[in-house]
Amino acid sequence: MSTSKVAALVVGQVIRCSRRGSRPVYKVRAPKMSLDTNLLMYFPRKKDYWCVNSTPEDCTVGDIVVVRERGHIDDKLLDVKYRVDSIMFKNGAVIDPVTGRPCRGTEFLDTESRVIEQSKRKVEEFTKLEKVES
The confidence score (pLDDT) of residue 74 equals 67
Mean pLDDT calculated for residue range 71-83: 76
Assess contact for 27 and 48: CB atoms under 8 A. Answer: yes
**pLDDT, averaged across the chain:** 82
- Comparing 28 with 92, the larger pLDDT belongs to 28
Q: State the pTM of this model.
A: 0.64
Cα–Cα distance measured from residue 119 to residue 3, given in angstroms and rounded to the nearest whole number? 57
Cα–Cα distance measured from residue 61 to residue 92, given in angstroms and rounded to the nearest whole number? 11
